[in-house]
Amino acid sequence: MFVFVAEAIGLTTRSSAQQFTEKIMKGYKITDNERSKKYGIGSNSLQMLKNKAKLKFPPQTLFVVAGPETIITTDGEFQFEQLKQRSPLLRVADIVHDFMEQHPDKFLKMVSDYEKLKKPKLDHSKAHLSLKSEHSEWFLGLEERCHTKEEALSRRAQDRVRGYYYKTKDELTRNVIYRQNLKARRLIDAILEKFRYLLIGCDYFSMIFDRECNRKHEFLQQQLGDETDARSVVPSKKLKQIIKNYTLKNQILDEWTVSLCSNLGDFYCQGPFSDSTNNCSLNHTINPYASRENLILFQVWNLDHQIELSRTILPALLENVRELITTPKRLCDMHKRQLVDVSVLEYFLEIFSLKNLKLVHIVCHEKVQRTNKSNGRLLCEQCHEYQIVQELMDVQVDKEAVNF
């Protein structure tokens, strides 16, 4: 038996089948039900497709056609799910997540009790050390390429920001308007590409967990007073440096490319969403640079979107895309020119930057629906924000070299 999965080709009616036979040769992927083998074949009709498939797999077949709104499980997702079933280790995150969802109060109490129990025993005498050779136990289980604590924490920050990018991309590309409207698809693809360029420009906000970043968040300055020091991380690839130079030159991200920790590595909870003063009444603080145990505990500290990503920001972005597509002649309120794009930079800052993210201990991460709204809007070619982003996209670099 084999399973065939393809994008919508409309084979459910006689007329659509006739249309299919008139099409030119197209490429398709076929695979068995275990997805152990996959072949690419060319066909211009359903019958030709079935005949060629039978040459690759046994004659009994299951033919699956994906509709325009169907979400197809990719090979990577399928294989990962299979691996999770065989490996208990990979199911740990799911188990913990399920427990958090079902027993949030118990989970928070467990974390709080553990921290109270361990706090007096934690050793901060090695917090100032940086090199792997100086504090080797701190690096257990980390990537081999990380040779300093600052590198490791910078990568942790980048991983979180990349996670927001993948979540954004997934939700936008799964939406019906992306799948059914070519203009909307092209616009959303362009928005995602601009997000990638901006992320490269700020090195995926690697500095927010890097104690050696010499620019500190205003919140931290209020906690500690003025602190200065150190070096900033410069991307090694020429492409990244060119884009970063542009963002620095135009100062479009300066305010938010800052560190959240002191020079020693102390982080302070910015308090729950309901407290707009950035105060944590429980005085949560942690230094993941001090010990491996602290580094592990730091994983329960969250970057909390004040304007919610899935409930508010992305729906607002999609609504603006829909409006741009359905009312193409609408004019900008400020310049009286035709609207041409969404405010990519504003959405970028709301999704990825400290403009909308607060670092909070899990106890202070309030899981409540919020009423604040996204500031994203539609722009014309005269809007300054539009011009800045377009200039960034016109930077003379090899776009094929833009990799994650």
* DSSP E strand stretches across 242-324: 267-268, 285-286, 301-305
Lowest mean pLDDT among 21-30, 85-94, 128-137, 338-347: 85-94
More confident residue, 37 or 67: 37
Reported for 149-155, long-range contacts at CB under 8 A and 24+ positions apart, including other chains, are: 149/265, 149/289, 150/210, 150/211, 150/212, 150/233, 152/295, 153/209, 153/210, 153/211, 153/265, 153/288, 153/289, 154/206, 154/207, 154/209, 154/210, 154/233, 155/206
Interatomic CA distance for residues 243 and 125, integer angstroms:
39
pTM of the model: 0.70
pLDDT of residue 85: 62
Q: Residue 328: count other Cβ atoms within 10 Å of its Cβ.
A: 11
pLDDT of residue 165: 95
**Section 209-218 average pLDDT:** 91
pLDDT of residue 102: 76
pLDDT of residue 6: 42
In whole numbers, what is the pLDDT of the chain averaged over residues? 80
| Cα torsion angle, 308, 312, 314, 320, sign | negative
Report the SS3 class of residue 124.
Answer: coil
pLDDT (tens digit, 9 = 90+) per residue, 218-275? 887 666 654 433 333 333 356 667 777 877 777 778 889 999 999 999 999 999 988 7
pLDDT of residue 246: 78
**Section 300-313 average pLDDT:** 94
Q: Is a pLDDT exceeding 90 seen at residue 43?
A: no
pLDDT above 70 coverage of the chain, percent: 73
Q: Is a pLDDT exceeding 80 seen at residue 75?
A: no
**Section 60-76 average pLDDT:** 58
Confidence band (pLDDT; 50, 70, 90) for 82?
low
**Section 121-139 average pLDDT:** 86
pLDDT of residue 234: 33
pLDDT of residue 230: 31
Confidence band (pLDDT; 50, 70, 90) for 404?
very low
Q: In a 10 Å sphere around its CB, with 0-12 CB exposed, 13-18 middle and 19+ buried, how is residue 292 labelled?
A: middle
